[in-house]
Structure 1
């Protein structure tokens, strides 16, 4: 077999020197450069594994060592090599034992009799890859847990069939006022106001809950103290404890909506003021300016009165311009709101 640059560090725990020599010979035939370390019993293996000088890619473990029972050996070795796969090599063709060991965390179970280099190579490579996948999945679970429980926004997970809460974070507990135990006895419908139940029923009986992931929805929720809040909700379907569930994040936007309504009311008042200026104030102003214009055209008016009327007319023109500016600003506000 061709040897590649990749080096694999292998610890062989085997008390039978003849068996070790056979295993070593098989390893030397594999498609990688091996660094082999030999331990003749559990005590030697423990010393080697507790040392910081070397990290092993795989451990080949014989079950029958002189200084420890097989069951205790497996448990102790699994505790010692958390990040390293263990492949059991044995002469005992016990299927039940092999299943039990693999369920405990052993990566593979191989018979010494008839073992070939190809079989050993496949087992080592697959065990290393499976271990990497397992720990990457474990890291993803830790990341999800951190994001979920440390999120400042309320988050929960619920069953798509029963709508029961399966998990809720601390932010959700603080915001809604229920304990975690209370949440886990409830359905998500119970945090909706009763008058919104028809909207809830319409939504859950459609296929929309299975699609449009991450799409924002704007709903009303009711807290334990009966206060109703406006929320912006985003959700996604994930796997939780081997079942499809929905992960939900809810952002309380009650204050923002109140602020927007305040601005809308202020704009409405401004519109009313502008309409009053445009239609009610300008009408008598226009009449006044027409009268002044008529008086200016009258014969026999003294220069003193004509000068005074000109001042009145100029003031009226200035006031009319101010009213027009107010109306234009109101029209600008209308255009922005329409957009």
Structure 2
């Protein structure tokens, strides 16, 4: 029987669909850029800052969790900061065994030092390209594409959607709305989603994390989301998970293969789940939902894809087969053309898991 130790898990090919640029900076980078920008941090050294982020995020409250981004956004207001963060983002994914990633961020939050919305997107894409070139040269190739976010509690969602359309041939593959869910329903931005559909730009919507089924219903049935960011509260429509009897909304999501971008550690921190062992991701996987596993915010949550997988193995009894399933799920639902998705599955993921599965009793 193969032991799924940390190094084995790190080497497995991974795909991440839900990961925020401003939540995944290196602590040392935040410290250095903050010093240059004159921004005061709650801790002055990388280890202390990483610990502060993790402790602050463990509040059990989404609004307080989001408040930690004050310090990462402070260092993403210049071309130099964005270039460095984007390049390091790619290199960190590559070091974690990720072969495909979608990074998301809200350009409207990065305008305080004079950059325009298009300049923010162009700069991030430049940094991502530099990171991909370095990763490929080091023998750890990774493809990274971009989702642009609109902040649901502000009034610039339409502008962000226009940006996604404008840059759809330059590495931007989709759209999202982010921010506090409660009181800011997806349908308030229906015009933006209708515009994206007309322009053939796919989108996901943060829903079912801090708010319940109405949030998911609006995201899917009113706005037409192809994926759901988090979606933990979908279990409210499955009163008896053990019996597996689905309500109409849960059945719709499963049967139409709408991917759930689940983030176990982050969901624990925001109070959307009680523990990794009890996290709905396992039950939903077993019920045949198109579950994916993601990091959400690697700095803020103190996590990586390897760590998320390790927690699921250790605390929820996942096998290599389960990990392969959710990785294939992620690539099936990536906002890439079909032939590119299929090539990653057939040429990278399945061969990458084969040696481990051959030694597994469930292979």
With normalisation by structure 2, the TM-score equals 0.25
Rg larger in structure:
1
Greater relative contact order: 1 or 2 (C-alpha under 8 angstroms, separation 6 or more)? 2
Q: TM-score, normalised by structure 1?
A: 0.27
